[in-house]
Amino acid sequence: MDKRRFLPFLLLIFAVQVKASIIYDNGPSIGDSTKCAGDSGKCNGEWSVFDDFILTGETKITAVQWDANLFVSDYTGATVGFYTADPVFEGGSLVQEFTGYGSVIGDDSDWTNVNITIQTEITLDAGVYWLGFQHHMLSNYASLDMSVDQTNGNATQWQNNGDGAKKYTYRELTFSIHGAASKSIPEPSILALFAVGLIGIGIARRRKQQA
């Protein structure tokens, strides 16, 4: 068997490769949003915040990272959820959520700014989705940083204090989504090699037939 005939296909396979990276970044932090995003009751109820993000192709999401403000000694974990649309005003459905302590980088001696990373395992098609955040605190409140100082931004906030859910618009949040495109389109140079390989196979077959 002539192994050379499989060369173009091997080139194509190597061209369709997966590289883990930041696949969505909602912008750098410009400071504390000062809005609650925790469930300790310190803010008179249970609070969650949500913001949208865009995927340009089928993507495997492996982690979500954001900047938060809290007492690390009071922090017990966090939950991030993926939604089909804004769950606050549009009734978006939960696709999947992930809860864990995550990786927390920051000073634990006082109220401080920290960076939190929660590992995820979810694959989504191209489209617009919403990401929800909630910190699990023992007795104090927690908030996310903002990337745009705009009171009526695109993000939203939900509160449940026992008197019924309350809905608010919210400042743009600071977060990034990490993962890898599970499908990749080969670059033109790779496609050219693939075409050359096919031509080579055709010529080889013709010579063999003529012999």
| pLDDT number for residue 22 | 94
Please, is 169 exposed, middle or buried when counting C-beta atoms within 10 Å of its C-beta (0-12, 13-18, 19+)? middle
Distances (CA, A) of 4 to 39, 45, 114, 115, 170: 62, 67, 54, 51, 59
What is the pLDDT, as a whole number, of residue 115? 95
Q: What is the pLDDT of residue 186?
A: 52
The pLDDT value recorded for residue 141 is: 87
Q: What is the pLDDT of residue 81?
A: 98
Question: What stretches in the chain show pLDDT beneath 50?
Answer: 1-3, 6-18, 185
What is the length of the chain?
A: 211
Please report the pLDDT score of residue 11 as a whole number: 42
Q: What is the pLDDT of residue 194?
A: 52
Q: Whose CA is closest to 95, among 111, 106, 83, 78?
A: 83
pLDDT reported for residue 20? 61
Listed residue (21, 19, 92, 102) closest to 52, CA to CA: 92
Query: Cα 196–201–203 angle (5° rounding)?
Result: 95
Whole-model pTM?
0.76
